[in-house]
Chains A and B, each alone.
Chain A
């Protein structure tokens, strides 16, 4: 199947400033792809390249099989876009803006926007300039979804939304996925991506550090373990085990960080009298930081 998004060595420099460098990525149709990275990593740059708002310095992007530059309006009709810092016409009401955008996209005016606004509890009759930050964000969300695009490209979509509205937004994403649409969303809120993404790419200083399925990512997860023993245990024996780090032994209490499988660790511990084992669940946040640090060491 043709990739919904394909990046081939995609590179963007702003003059001499780094935007993104050598991105290679394939996002499959029907997939929800989480694009993670800290501030200034290059998420917005990548997304604006996909929409042909800026042009690559080298490499290329293919969106729904077409070059954004040559695909033009016909291509963008099939894409829904939510900007990282959406600017809307402040003097228009929500209804006016959505009617306008609807017409441009070939809808007969509001189309499904009315229903979407209702789900997000958005008042369409007020001028956008009078709306709160979160409510303006809802207008931006509605306009991205209103024409049922094949591909949704969303730059930090939940910023400004309260938890209840975030949940409604996750439902919108889940529904889009059920209908076979592709969703590419950026975030630095890791729990968000954990919740809805099938795969995750982590970008750092303009480079893709890792692309993994969420399950695989969790399998590689760091786990913090506490093992309580009846008596003292030799630290070296545990510290020597592969995939076991940060081993500290105090009296009968061993704490450590384990990567991936904890089989060897458990078997090693079993040679002594174990009174209790406490495991802290894998956290994407920690994982993220680890990749982050790892790439930093390499650089």
Chain B
């Protein structure tokens, strides 16, 4: 592993990676085991949800015809509306903020970039490592959900589940890339985390509230969250254009950050 920046970046997170994978499995099995109970009482739950104000229901990413009594509907609302993307965003943002700014503040970037590694290469390999780690955890979640689905009879379509899982990885990478880029531009890890977290929260709120707040309606498509959630891939399958938009943002941000990183002074 210790042969490249990419390898070392993954290697140094091997323990937390194992925890994420293990934790995901436990959580998903636990959640899956709750499904039969929820399904049997879905009527009551849905009545309750109906009584919620519209704004609150928007937060649960309720789409037309979704029902808690089906496995996909259950996962869509319980996991994919917020919890799962949030977890992977936390992971990716932490990774992105540490990749340049964190190492710069620690001083280790000084050592590495004084060697035969260009700044762009550093950024590219760190992005690659962030994408790989996020993808691995997305994959672990996908497998965990398949297993839980089989065990508790969720009736999942593996293709649609894969599409939805990929969407989670992509939305996480958007904000991970933002943290990476802000870190590359400023060299400040805290700022990178803060900006990326605030942006993720704003993206989620704009998308969700736009369903009910009319003046937000026009800007909904400016929120990356729209391209994650609007197509509801777990229910309707892959939406390539939306996935492409997310991937393009995730790739463009580090490229832009690299332009500045190339020009600026490195802090001691």
Chain A interface residues toward B at CB < 8 A:
14, 44, 48, 51, 53-55, 72-74, 76-77, 79, 81, 83, 85-89, 91-92, 96, 99-101, 103-106, 143
Contact residue among A48, A72, A88, A103 (Cβ-Cβ distance under 8 Å from B2): A103
Query: In the bound complex, do residue B110 and residue A73 qualify as a contact, i.e. CB atoms below 8 Å apart?
Result: no
- Given A73-B118, A104-B5, A104-B115, CB of A89 within 8 Å of CB of B108: yes
A48 to B112, CA, bound (A): 13
Min CB–CB distance A135 → chain B (angstroms): 17
Among A53, A81, A101, the most chain B Cβ lie within 10 Å of the Cβ of: A53
Interface bits B103-129 vs A (CB < 8 Å: 1, else 0): 000111011111111100100000000
CB <8 Å contact, A55 and B265: yes
Given contacts A44-B268, A53-B265, A83-B110, 19 further A-B contacts (CB under 8 A): A48-B266, A53-B113, A54-B266, A55-B265, A72-B118, A73-B115, A73-B117, A74-B116, A77-B115, A81-B111, A81-B114, A85-B107, A85-B268, A86-B111, A87-B110, A89-B108, A91-B12, A96-B2, A100-B3
Q: List 8 A-B contacts (CB under 8 A).
A: A53-B265, A73-B115, A86-B107, A91-B12, A96-B2, A101-B115, A103-B3, A103-B4
Number of B interface residues in the complex (CB < 8 A):
23
A125 to B115: give the CA distance in the assembly, Å.
23
A87 engages B113 (CB within 8 Å):
no
The minimal Cβ–Cβ distance linking B246 to chain A, given in whole angstroms, is: 32
Q: Which of A44, A53, A55, A74 contacts B114 (CB 8 A)?
A: A53
Taken together as a complex, chains A and B put the C-alpha atoms of A62 and B238 apart, in Å, by 54
Q: How far is the CB of A265 from chain B (nearest CB, A)?
A: 49
- CA A123 to CA B261, docked complex, whole Å: 36
B residues lining the A interface (CB < 8 Å): 2-5, 8, 12, 106-108, 110-118, 121, 263, 265-266, 268
**A91 closest partner in B (C-beta):** B12
B115 touches A89 (CB 8 A): no
A54-B266, A100-B8, A103-B2 known; A77+B111 contact, CB < 8 A: no
In the bound complex, residues from chain B placing their C-beta under 8 Å from that of A48 are 110, 266, 268
Residues in B whose Cβ lies below 8 Å from that of A91 = 12
**Chain A neighbourhood of B116, CB < 8 A:** 73-74, 76-77, 104-106
Q: Are the C-beta atoms of B108 and A87 separated by less than 8 Å?
A: yes
Q: Which residues of B contact A89 (CB under 8 A)?
A: 12, 108
A85 CB contacts on chain B under 8 angstroms: 107, 268
What are the residues of chain A within 8 A of B3 when measuring CB–CB?
100, 103
Within 8 Å CB of B114, what residues of A? 51, 53, 76, 79, 81, 83
Once bound together, how far apart are the Cα atoms of A169 and B116, in whole Å? 24
Q: How far is the CB of A80 from chain B (nearest CB, A)?
A: 9
Check A100–B2 contact: CB distance below 8 A: yes
**Cα–Cα distance between A100 and B125 once the two chains are bound (Å):** 14
Question: Closest chain A residue to B3 by CB distance?
Answer: A103
Interchain nearest-CB distance for B267 vs A (Å): 9
Expressed in whole angstroms, the Cα–Cα distance for A184 and B153 within the complex equals 70
A54–B115 contact, CB under 8 A?
no
Contact A88 B108 (CB under 8 A): yes
Rounded to whole Å, the gap between the CB of A117 and the closest CB of chain B is 16
Does A76 contact B108, Cβ atoms closer than 8 Å? no
Smallest CB separation, A166 vs chain B (Å): 22
Question: What B residues does A76 contact at CB under 8 A?
Answer: 114-116
Which residue of chain A is the closest to B264 with respect to CB atoms? Answer: A55
On chain B, the residues within 8 Å of A99 by CB distance are: 2
Closest 10 CB pairs of A and B: A87-B107, A73-B116, A77-B116, A100-B2, A54-B265, A81-B114, A103-B3, A51-B114, A53-B266, A76-B116
A99 and B3 alpha carbons, distance in the complex (Å): 8
Q: Which residue of B lies closest to A153 (CB)?
A: B114
Cα–Cα distance between A77 and B113 once the two chains are bound (Å): 11
The distance from the CB of B31 to the nearest CB of chain A, in whole angstroms, is 33
Query: Which of B2, B110, B117 lies in contact with A53, CB distance below 8 A?
Result: B110
Across the two chains, which residue of chain B brings its CB closest to A99? Answer: B2
A289 and B265 CA atoms in complex are apart in Å by 33
Q: Chain B contacts of A100 at CB under 8 A?
A: 2-3, 8
Neighbouring A residues of B113 by C-beta, 8 Å: 53
Bound CA–CA A74/B117 (angstroms) = 9
Q: How far is the CB of B265 from chain A (nearest CB, A)?
A: 4
Chain B residues with Cβ below 8 Å from A74 are 116
Complex CA distance for A89 and B109, rounded to whole angstroms: 10
* Cα distance A51–B108 in the bound complex, in angstroms: 14
